[in-house]
Amino acid sequence: MFPYIHLFGKNIPMYSLMAFTGLLFAVGYILLRYKKSGLSRDDSFFAFIYGAAGALAGAKLLSIFTMLPQIIRNLDLLQTDPELFFQVFLYAGFVFYGGLYGALLGVWIYARHWKLAFFDFMDPLLPTVPIIHAWGRIGCFFMGCCYGIPVDAPWGVYFARSEIAPTDVALLPVQLYESAGVFVLAAVLIVLQYRHIQKRMQLAVYLLGYGVMRFVLEFFRYDAYRGFIGLLSISQVISVLTVIWGMALLIGQGLHVGRAEIRE
């Protein structure tokens, strides 16, 4: 595809440009929504910053974990070519699930520090996660990372200019499939918020929706740096745990509503 775009005399990575576009839309949503959420603008944006910092840290840490066998095998590079070692294993590569749970942890830390309810931040912050994610996956498509399986079909894509994907075979554009699915999930969350659906339920819908989607899409991924536990990729294992958490939230909310009706 087009890994870089030439602007102002510089080559700008398309992934960075798409991620920045997603960030702008996310900030715009917060500005539109924070008043109706009952949170102050400062709390909304500072929690978003905590979440963003947690997302970057978590995405990088999980990336390092998935590449741990390769890192161990190439430890000698630290002595022979440390710059190459850091470029391959530390400077590049982020894993979404690490970013997701890092973001949730960051918001939880902010809420706990200021004695605020964690779930109150689901509105307006939760839809910003799939918004940024969807744009980021478009960036992945342009870069050629997170590529899909080889296909002999008209919808296969040759990533002829990618520095990451194989360039001699048509690949399934699974990045765009995930982007489309996550855009739909963002729209669902926005509708739920405007209908004032309980905040725990919103998080449950997101966890269940994305967990199932990612588990299925992993079967159509072909990139090597994902890490596996048995027959499942690390992301599929996390998807299972994510779906379990989503179900637990749904069951817990149902029990809470049931007890409230009994008291009435």
Q: Tens digit of pLDDT for each residue in 45-89?
A: 999 999 999 999 999 999 888 888 888 888 888 888 888 778 777
Give the SS3 label for residue 12. Answer: strand
* Strand-strand pairing, 232-233 and 228-229: antiparallel
In a domain, 260, yes or no: no
How far is Cα 117 from Cα 28, in angstroms, rounded to an integer? 23
How far is Cα 141 from Cα 134, in angstroms, rounded to an integer? 11
* pLDDT (0 to 100) of residue 104: 97
Find, among 182, 190, 245, 192, the residue nearest to 214 by Cα: 182
In a domain, 214, yes or no: no
How far is Cα 108 from Cα 114, in angstroms, rounded to an integer? 10
Q: Which residue has the tokens 């931040």?
A: 121
For the segment 118-148, what is each residue's pLDDT rounded down to a tens digit? 999 999 999 999 999 999 999 999 999 999 9
In a domain, 139, yes or no: yes
- Residue 78 identity: L
Residues in the chain: 264
How far is Cα 17 from Cα 14, in angstroms, rounded to an integer? 5
Higher pLDDT, 153 or 98: 98
Number of neighbouring beta carbons within 10 Å of residue 97: 21
* pLDDT (0 to 100) of residue 90: 72
Q: Degrees (nearest 5) of the Cα angle 75, 68, 102?
A: 130
In a domain, 219, yes or no: no
In a domain, 234, yes or no: no
pLDDT above 80 (res 253)? no
In a domain, 207, yes or no: no
Q: Which range marks the domain in which residue 165 is found?
A: 4-196
In a domain, 157, yes or no: yes
Residue 87's alpha-carbon distances to 56, 122, 142, in angstroms, are 17, 35, 20
The number of distinct structural domains making up the chain is: 1
What are the percentages of helix, strand and coil residues in the chain, rounded to 5? 70, 5, 25
How far is Cα 158 from Cα 170, in angstroms, rounded to an integer? 5
* pLDDT (0 to 100) of residue 226: 76
* pLDDT (0 to 100) of residue 1: 65
For the segment 205-246, what is each residue's pLDDT rounded down to a tens digit? 999 999 999 999 999 999 877 788 888 999 999 999 999 999
For the segment 181-207, what is each residue's pLDDT rounded down to a tens digit? 999 999 999 999 999 999 999 999 999
For the segment 17-51, what is each residue's pLDDT rounded down to a tens digit? 999 999 999 999 999 999 888 899 999 999 999 99
Is the CB of residue 140 less than 8 Å from the CB of residue 1? no
In a domain, 62, yes or no: yes
* pLDDT (0 to 100) of residue 46: 97
pLDDT above 80 (res 254)? no
pLDDT above 50 (res 261)? no
